[in-house]
Amino acid sequence: MTALKLCLPEAVTPQQFLAEYWQKKPLLIKQGLPQLIDMFEPEDILGLALDEEALARLITQHIAHDKPKWTVKKSPLDETDLETVLAHADDTLANWTVLVQNLEQWSPELGQLWQAFDFIPQWQRDDIMVSYAPQGGSVGKHYDDYDVFLAQGFGQRRWQLGKFCDETTEFIEGQPIRIFDDLGEIIFDEVLQPGDVLYVPPKLAHYGVAVDDCLTFSFGFRRPNMMQLLDNLVDVATSDSTLFVPMLLEQDSQPSGELTEASISQIQAQLLQLLASSHGTSLIRQAVSETVSRRQYDILTPEEALDEQELMQALSRDATLQIDYSSRLIYHTDNDITTIYANGQLLDELSDSERRLLKRLANGEALNHQDIFDDSANAVAIDTLMSWLENGWVWLNMT
């Protein structure tokens, strides 16, 4: 089965995008994600924002005595929160936006659109966030620390892009969100139509204002930070008993109360030696794999699952198994050995055929009955497929 058409202009190859634009320059991709057009309506998103398991925020801007004041209400949101802004009950209310994170948890169909970004490794995926805003709505002028593809799903939004920011960029004081007044020199100013996508690199100042009732979907990418990696390295090291043997250190004579720089350097040298050794490489490999394959959000309460018979019937009637993009399924290959991680865990008890199928799923392939059961000697047992579904690693596409 073929994956989706990549979200790039006809004239830009993935190699060109990565070399010229990725983390460097913005790019407008007209009709980059036509599948998004009318996939959701504003009411769907406002309804979802009220679900007690949704991760939502209501951002409002009030202007009283010429002074803007922003507020953020985090989920759980209730109906009166939305009724108040929808009815414009308070005449100091200048604009408002509802944001919902991690949409691929709620819509595997939407999650499949990640395939259009397959020119970036899937382990760098963050989440899909949606914003709903009525005419004039905005979350202010700001920058983000991650890469984002801003995809218009419904209505129109005007985007302005300005300068690259850095640690010295000052935010307006006393507001609950990081915003500023000055975008710098405007380098882009266009109204996006449904299906259009704008790539915005990290730290580029941007400002989106709803032209009419509008839904914008942010496909965000992230890399782990050093803190997460060190934290995971410690976790991995804790189960390695060889690291519990106290170190041997050379010793010069010195005042007995002092911890000398020389001792610290020796310890540092041994630590770096360990990290640079093949033992260190395997600890780091495991820590990195666990970090980047970890889910950011808890799994939702599962819906009523299919039973084995229904699964078999669906597969024999053209349904396909696909990765569920609310999970993280990644692999790495070293010396022809493929190791698979799902949601932060090493899968160390897989058969060869299970490993082969999971690798294809991780690469975005849709597997049909023949792919799964073609060679009965290698077929994956139905109860294994059931457990993949129950764990939320895969999704059964019935359409």
Per CB under 6 A, residues contacting ligand SIN are 97, 131, 139, 144, 148, 206, 208, 216, 218
| Nearest CB to ligand SIN, comparing residues 148 and 329 | 148
Choosing among ligand SIN, Co ion, none, which partner's interface includes residue 131 (Cβ < 5 to 8 Å by kind)? ligand SIN
Taking contact as CB under 5 A, which single stretch among the options 102-110, 139-147, 229-237, 284-292 is the one that binds Co ion? 139-147
| Nearest CB to ligand SIN, comparing residues 131 and 397 | 131
Q: How far is the CB of 158 from ligand SIN (least distance, A)?
A: 11
Write the DSSP string, 345-398: EE--S--HHHHHHHHHHHTTPPB-HHHHHSSTTTPPPHHHHHHHHHTTSEEEE-
Residue 127, interface with Co ion (CB under 5 A)? Answer: no
Taking contact as CB under 5 A, which single stretch among the options 142-150, 256-264, 290-298, 371-379 is the one that binds Co ion? 142-150
| Nearest CB to ligand SIN, comparing residues 117 and 395 | 117
Of residues 81, 104, 127, 144, which one binds Co ion by CB under 5 A?
A: 144
- What's the Cα-to-Cα distance from 108 to each of 138, 214, 229, rounded to whole Å? 27, 22, 29
3-state secondary structure of 34: helix
Closest CA to 195 of 31, 39, 8, 9: 31
Q: How far is the CB of 26 from ligand SIN (least distance, A)?
A: 12
Q: How far is the CB of 291 from ligand SIN (least distance, A)?
A: 24
Name residues whose C-beta falls within 8 Å of residue 240's C-beta, 6 or more positions apart in sequence.
283
| Nearest CB to ligand SIN, comparing residues 198 and 330 | 198
Sole residue written with tokens 């593809």: 149
Tell me: cis bond preceding 76? Omega within 30 of 0 counts.
yes
Closest CA to 214 of 124, 308, 121, 133: 133
Q: How far is the CB of 133 from Co ion (least distance, A)?
A: 13
Residue nearest to Co ion (CB): 144
Q: Which helix (H) or strand (E) holds 339?
A: strand 337-342
Choosing among ligand SIN, Co ion, none, which partner's interface includes residue 139 (Cβ < 5 to 8 Å by kind)? ligand SIN
**With contact defined as beta carbons under 8 Å apart, do 396 and 389 qualify?**
yes
